[in-house]
Amino acid sequence: MYSLKEFWQLRNLPVPEGEWDGNIICIETNVEWTFGANETHGFLSCYTFTIVTRGWVTLLYNNCELTLYEGDLYTYSPGFEVTVLSSSSDYSGICLLGDEHFTLSLPTVRDAIRTAYFSVVELTSPVLPLKTDDFRRLRELMQMMIHYQQRGLPLANDSLRMLYNLFLTDLSTIQQQSIREHRFPKRVEEIFLGFLGLLPQNFEEHHDIGFYASELCITATYLSRIVRQVSGGRTVMDYINQLLLMEATFLLRQTSLSIAQIADRLHFAETTTFARFFQRMKGMNPREFRKGG
């Protein structure tokens, strides 16, 4: 897996003016750039947030076909299979990329993972239709990042970091509002939000659907059906596994805990079980990832 800076250097892409730390970059995209992403998905250790500003683009995301239109926001996190299938000839967008390890170290993201109804990094549908005001506000934040990059202003990296935090915070708020506006029966919404409320405090210890169903006083089958219905097809295990992967990624890169200690902290029965889980989700074993693979 390439870091954002390694990827940028590998493809000989123009870097921001001044001393760029390689953690954040924002660019305007077109058809050529978007199809070029097919060469890097699965190899780039980076979160991306793309707003479609014109036209449309169709993706194969985790074996599901998705079409993004003007005003849609698409969120990608490492570990998901994505292929760009087609687009309109006039497609354009703005893409914000944040290095994975840097992003996971931000308090904004950590707090969102553990306390918000939706994470800003792939706990809900990857496509979010934006309201006009939200579209304009997020686009302006992205354009400000491009401005700081291009001019090489003093403390540009600090400014990018502040804008990135603001973008993630704003996006988290938009996502929370989005779920509240879906018209589901009150009981269905209560169960789904109850499940999401249980996740941040319990995902490390409880990896089974039965625990969450029991806490909500319903059957595992009913909980599974509710989660699929409200989330547009995602499963209970999708939510649990994504949180486990993000926490494991953070602990491997940001702490000195041994792999065995991380496996124990995340309540895997054996270190080998944790290693197989990480390999399946990330495409490499924990030791390779820790070494910068």
The CATH number of residue 209's host domain is: 1.10.10.60
Same domain, 171 and 89: yes
Same domain, 155 and 280: no
71 and 211 belong to one structural domain:
no
Q: Identify whether residues 13 and 150 lie together within a single domain.
A: yes
pLDDT (tens digit, 9 = 90+) per residue, 149-187?
887 666 788 889 899 989 988 887 887 677 666 667 778
Query: Are residues 133 and 61 located together in one domain of the fold?
Result: yes
pLDDT in tens, 200-254: 789 999 999 999 999 999 999 999 999 888 776 778 998 898 888 878 888 887 7
Look at residue 110 in the predicted model and tell me its pLDDT: 56
Strand order across the beta sheet in which 56-61 lies: 64-69, 56-61, 82-87
What integer pLDDT is reported at residue 91 of this predicted model? 96
Q: Which of 157, 181, 205 is the last residue of a domain?
A: 181
Q: How many residues does the chain have?
A: 293
The whole-number pLDDT of residue 9 equals 75
Same domain membership, residue 67 and residue 202: no
pLDDT > 50? residue 121: no
For the chain, report the end-to-end CA distance as a whole number of angstroms.
Answer: 5
pLDDT of residue 113: 44
What pLDDT shows up at residue 111? 55
149 plus 26 within the same structural domain: yes
Kindly indicate the confidence band of residue 122, based on its pLDDT and cuts at 50, 70 and 90: very low
pLDDT surpassing 80 at residue 87 = yes
Q: Which domain holds residue 231?
A: 186-290
pLDDT at 120 over 70: no
pLDDT at position 119 is: 41
What pLDDT is attached to residue 75?
Answer: 86
DSSP string, 142-199: HHHHHHHHHHT-TTHHHHHHHHHHHHHHHHHHHHHHHHHHS---HHHHHHHHHHHHHH
Looking at the 3D structure of the chain, how many domains does it have? 2
Cβ(198)–Cβ(212) under 8 Å?
Answer: yes
Tell me, yes or no, whether 91 and 177 share the same domain.
yes
pLDDT at 107 > cutoff 80: no
Per-residue pLDDT of 246-276, as tens digits, reads 788 888 877 899 999 999 999 999 999 999 9
Q: Is there a single domain that holds both residue 261 and residue 222? A: yes
Tens-digit pLDDT profile for residues 23-82: 899 999 999 888 877 776 656 778 889 999 999 999 987 677 889 999 999 988 766 668
> Which of residues 181, 214, 231 is at a domain's end?
181
Task: Give the number of other CB atoms < 10 A from CB of residue 12.
Answer: 7
Of 150, 181, 212, which residue is a domain's last? 181
Q: Please indicate, yes or no, whether residues 200 and 168 belong to a single structural domain of this protein.
A: no
Residues of 225-240 as b/e, b for ≥16 C-beta within 10 angstroms? ebbeebbeebebebbb
Q: What is the structure's pLDDT at 43?
A: 61
- In this structure, are 149 and 203 located in the same domain? no
Burial 26-42 (b: 16+ CB within 10 A, else e): bbebbbeebbebeeebe
Q: What's the pLDDT score for residue 108?
A: 65
At 65 the pLDDT is 87
| CATH number (domain holding residue 51) | 2.60.120.280
Same domain, 155 and 214: no
